[in-house]
Chain A
Amino acid sequence: MTESLLISILVFMIISSVVALFTDELISAIIAIGALGFGGSIAYLIMGAPDLAITQIVVEVVSLVLLIRVTIGVGLRLTAGCCSKTRTAVAGAVVLLTSFVFAFSLRLFPAFGDAVMGRVQYAPSIFYIEYGLHSTGASNLVTAILLDFRAYDTLGEATVIFTAVLGGIALLRKRGRNISAGDEVSRGDTA
């Protein structure tokens, strides 16, 4: 039951991603990518990951707003025509090679529904499930891992977000530093 539901949602996601890549209008591509993200959110909900579903919805809405901001500035123009034949051939060859790699490596995984953590000796997940409530006091094990067992990961995540924000501000600010024509400083140093 769960498996067939997940399969149908994944097929929906694949169709919407194909539509997103091969339509001519940018705005319909963005709407299709929104369908992909919300389908992923439903898939997380079915797979027993409510935290992920909530995060995915929030992130998807924000990224849709950002992408629409990019296209509205252009005035909804159509995208220019597509790719040359050699480029498509090279891309097809790369995709074929990668699919062979996937086909070989996916056989190593246990069948669906048989979690990998059960197959590994001393898997950290088993420890987290067994002692998570006792040692952190959080009844939600995902938050117990995020904010307690692996708190340094979350700190690194905050650093990455901060750096991205700094980069975005530096790229998009309207007023830069004023450089007069006779300045000794070359443009490359201050930019």
Chain B
Amino acid sequence: MLYTLTSVLFLVGLFGLLTQRNIIKIIISVSIIESAVNLFLVLVGYRKEGLAPIITRHTSHGKIMELSVDPFPQAMVVTSIVIGLSVMALMIAIALRLYHIYGTYNIDEIKKKQEEEKT
């Protein structure tokens, strides 16, 4: 059920990526896809009644071995979230640059203006 819901979230992002013509909307759909993938990776490592993978004075070694959530996908997803932010910042910089040049965020209008410049 939960895996299906994350894939639905991914598909919503994919549909938006393919249909939208506004650069801001395309950036938004990329970030939707990112969050769906991150959620799926963390869900795969979840255990029923799982504990956070932090060892305290009150958790014995056996208990953490038996109940801890998988820490490995979590560590990788931390990396992926931060990289997602920097990719988004780069996309926004490109969008701003395009807006300075063409005065619009719509891809179709940008294409039209490019063709007008050529002729």
Give B37-70 interface residues, CB cut-off 8 Å to A.
Answer: 38-39, 42-56, 64-65, 68-70
Q: CA A115 – CA B70 in complex, angstroms?
A: 7
Check A63 against B88 for contact (C-beta < 8 Å).
yes
Q: Give the size of the chain A interface in residues (CB under 8 angstroms).
A: 88
Q: Which residues of B contact A124 (CB under 8 A)?
A: 72
The residue in B70, B77, B81, B105 that gathers the most chain A C-beta atoms within 10 A of its C-beta is B70
Asked if A172 and B7 make an inter-chain contact with CB atoms under 8 angstroms apart, the answer reads no
Q: Roughly how many angstroms separate A83 CA and B78 CA in the complex, as a whole number?
A: 35
**Which residues from A are CB-within-8-Å of B89?**
63, 66, 164-165, 168
Q: How far is the CB of B34 from chain A (nearest CB, A)?
A: 10
Interface residues on B, range: 35 or more
Contacts of B109 in A (CB 8 A): 80
Q: B81 contacts which of A59, A115, A117 (Cβ < 8 Å)? A: A59
Q: Is the interface of B mostly helix, strand, loop or mixed?
A: helix
Q: B4 — which chain A residues lie within 8 A by C-beta?
A: 106
Mask of B94-105 contacts with A, CB within 8 angstroms, 1/0:
111101000001
Contact A80 B22 (CB under 8 A): yes
User: Which A residues between 116 and 151 are near B, CB-CB below 8 angstroms?
Assistant: 116-118, 124-125, 128-130, 132-133, 139-142, 144-146, 150
In angstroms, Cα B44 to Cα A141, docked, is 17
Q: A92-B15, A106-B3 are in contact. Are A37 and B79 (CB under 8 A)?
A: no
**Bound-state Cα–Cα, A33 to B5, Å:** 17
Once the chains bind, are B45 and A116 in contact (CB under 8 Å)?
A: yes
Kindly list chain A residues whose C-beta atoms are within 8 Å of the C-beta of B52.
Answer: 48-50
Query: Chain B residue with minimal CB distance to A172?
Result: B93
A14 at the interface (CB under 8 A from B): yes
Known contacts A33-B32, A128-B72; is A70 also within 8 Å of B96 by CB?
Answer: yes
Given A91-B18, A116-B70, A146-B79, residue A171 in contact with residue B32 (CB < 8 A): no
**Residues of A with C-beta under 8 A to B84:** 59
Known contacts A29-B28, A82-B21, A141-B68; 20 further A-B pairs (Cβ under 8 A): A13-B9, A13-B35, A14-B5, A14-B8, A20-B28, A21-B16, A21-B25, A30-B24, A36-B32, A52-B74, A59-B85, A63-B89, A70-B96, A94-B18, A112-B2, A124-B72, A133-B55, A139-B56, A145-B75, A150-B75
